[in-house]
Amino acid sequence: MVTYRGAQNYLPDTLDLLSLETAARGCRGCDLFKAAEQTVFGAGPADAGLMLVGEQPGNEEDLEGEPFVGPAGRLLDKALAAAGVERDAVYVTNAVKHFRFDRAAGGKRRIHKKPSGGQVTACRPWLAAELDVVRPDVVVCLGVTAARALIEKNFTLTAHRGEVLHLDEELRGTLDPRVVATIHPSAALRAHVDRTAAFESLVRDLQRAAGLL
């Protein structure tokens, strides 16, 4: 695994969301800043009780600079509405703040590429800082990358989806929110899955998480 310098040295002295977002724009903690358009930091109220953490920004998020504004984000909005969760009251972010992609052969299209373990680790100081500032009561990991960044390196959704868990010891510090892992909304958009069943299962997990508030 490639070892990166990590985001730690880019953290601001003042820990609030605006300072973090501003500082993250200049992060060079791993190589992902080189090809992406911009850092996509988390968004939402600093006093949110519920924090949702995805994997990384996608193509539209990278272009717009906002998390969860692409197809998966629109599906997440629908799932939150179906679960009775007010979208504007939730803080949403990603385990990795820059878009990792490959170029389609001969074309301009950018195809999502999963971030490496080293890149997730490099970016974790931003996630830890967001947790520290927002101090949510409940965290939902949307997909296994977020769950591995927050709960346990070898986490699997098949074994622990929907369970009420804790942050890993390193992140826990003085805060101990309940943590639930579910699928990433993009998993309910794939061609080969039963999309309705996947969407409904996501809604159920969001309802369960909101019920912990």
Task: Using CB under 6 A, list all residues that contact ligand SF4.
Answer: 7, 24, 27-30, 32-33, 39, 96-98, 119, 122-123, 126
149 and 95 Cβ atoms separated by less than 8 Å: yes
Residue 84 beta carbon to ligand SF4: minimum distance, rounded to whole angstroms: 33
DSSP string, 88-132: GGEEEEESSSS--EEEPTTSS-EEE-PPPHHHHHHHHHHHHHHHH
Q: Which residues pair with 102 in a beta bridge?
A: 111
How far from 145 is each of 81, 182, 183, CA to CA, in Å?
Answer: 24, 11, 10
- Specify the residue, 98 or 148, whose C-beta has the smaller distance to ligand SF4: 98
Residue 14 beta carbon to ligand SF4: minimum distance, rounded to whole angstroms: 18
- Specify the residue, 20 or 50, whose C-beta has the smaller distance to ligand SF4: 20
Residue 165 beta carbon to ligand SF4: minimum distance, rounded to whole angstroms: 24
94 and 42 Cβ atoms separated by less than 8 Å: yes
- Specify the residue, 98 or 184, whose C-beta has the smaller distance to ligand SF4: 98
Residue 145 beta carbon to ligand SF4: minimum distance, rounded to whole angstroms: 12
